[in-house]
Structure 1
Amino acid sequence: MTGRSARRLAWKARGLLALGLAMMLAALASGAAGHGLAGFVLVTAGFVAARLLARPWLLTRLAQPGGAQALSRDIAGQVLLVLVLFWMGVGFAALTGWRPDLPLWLPPVACLGAGALSRAIWRPMPPEMDRFLDEATETLTRMADSLAEDGSGDDARAEAAAAAMMVALDALPASGVPHHSIGDAALPPMADMPFWTYTNLLFDRARAHETDRDIRALVIGITDPFIATKAAGQEDLDAAFDLVAAHGGEQALYCFEMQTVALLDVFPDAWRDMPAPERLRDFAGSLSGQIADRYRDLAALVERLQQKAEST
């Protein structure tokens, strides 16, 4: 399952690369065809429009501090890129004597089409996600071939699974995600990674972003009985509670309570990794309504399991 997902994502990365090359070729062709200043302006407009499709926050965050600077810097980069490509096309035509017979409108339309297809293939992510996406794209492109050659390579599977999980989680909104969607993104990769790698990745994401999505992904991952039994004694559940209590919204609160109750039902010894009952009760006192009652019940459950263990 994970291998197929990694290969599918790798093909998406290759598709994005191909569309980027198509845009570059369109700029070269416009220069080689002798379209002159009009061609340069139209192709530049196509590049800028494609860039804004890929990075819509350049417009939506324009009024924020640094927004205008970010937009102007990005547009300047596109103008410079087209300028280089356009003159390369002019130079190629001068050296070879071959001038393609292309209508003026074709290269900019090709740029816009490639930009639209890129947007359809890859959902735009804000700049704070760039590091994860860049690493994931690079890893998936590199590891897909390795997986095809040696499907049994543990390191290859682990690296591809980690990248696939990062991309799958990044593709979800930061909040308001259905529980099952987060599970679909976070749970399958665990089979192809050492448990400490898996839990470390989830903790790193949750601490780096502090979003509802990533905190709930952490809770869902570490309360899986397969992971919880292997990580017994590391107090991962207690550490995850810190994040839920500090940054989690209502959905994260319910997620932690429900997931840990289910885990304690099948793996009672997990109480040792849970927050102390007194801490859970104190936290429940800061809440109200049904969720407060549920955390008081959770505290009572942990206390019962603790007393049972100490009496045997």
Structure 2
Amino acid sequence: MTHQTSDLEAQLDALRQEGQQAIATAETLEQLDQLRVKYLGKKGQLSQALGGMGKLPPEERPRIGALTNEVKEALQNDLDTKRTALQAAQIQAQLEAETLDVTMPGMYRPQGRMHPLNSTIDRALDIFTGLGYTVAQGPEMETDYYNFEALNFQPDHPARDMQDTLYLTDGNLLRTHTSTVQIRYMEENDPPIRVAVPGRVYRRDTVDATHSAVFHQIEILAVDEGLTFSDLRGTIKVFLEAMFGDVPIRFRPSFFPFTEPSAEVDVQWKGRWLEVLGCGMVDPNVLKAVGYDPEVYTGFAAGFGVERLAMVLHQIDDIRRLYNSDLRFLRQF
């Protein structure tokens, strides 16, 4: 055995002892991976130690090669064993950290309830979507054009006095009805259309038991070839019967700038007639404003206040109860 062979054997033996000791004291998987690269990587210490094999006599190289494999296998086995142990310890630590003591009493969280306004909106929209209507929404801050002009309200039209409007300093306004979305929807879509529009609206109104400056509306709009007042009446009848059951319904002539002819609709509820919505055939001027040909298309629209329906359905005596967040009231629903 040459002196060079003896030195290489001693170097390999020392490398194995050093590596095994370092692996045994590794505390994390990251440290372990660093040791793997340090000892067994392409530029690791084992590869560097073997760099001198080319200087050995040919008859001594097989023995050094076998010793090298032993060192490599020993280090690899220690790495695998240590990795398994560290992974198991990591999983155990995670389990202990995430353990839930099911014997401990849980934290009480009161169950939420659907607000009567939301439930009324959902109930109405379920009926209309079942009839093939699409739900659409739009901005609550509007321009005079969408809120009035496009809906056949001329600047000096007396009907503007019917809706005391909240104007903003920039010339815009808070919408007084959800009919604004009907105009926006027709501008973006060609007939035939069926759309239901829920949303919050604003009017300068004195707050009392039946009035609020902020309230909610749902309006529907249908435009197609050949639609008549009979289609409107049938739609309203189906909707009201779904909401109130088999109750008497009556239509009374009325006036709205954006529909002609127009009607108010009442239902007989608990022995008296209650006004619940307004409706009518879309005025030809409204169709012209959005580029529809009134000689080809006709349409109908209807709208109602959500608060009115909610108060009737739940026998609520004061509209302000819907807004004051009194849990004694809300827990009833």
TM superposition score normalised by structure 2: 0.19
The structure carrying a bigger strand percent of its residues is 2
Higher radius of gyration, 1 or 2 = 2
- TM-score, normalised via structure 1 length: 0.20
* Higher helix residue share: 1
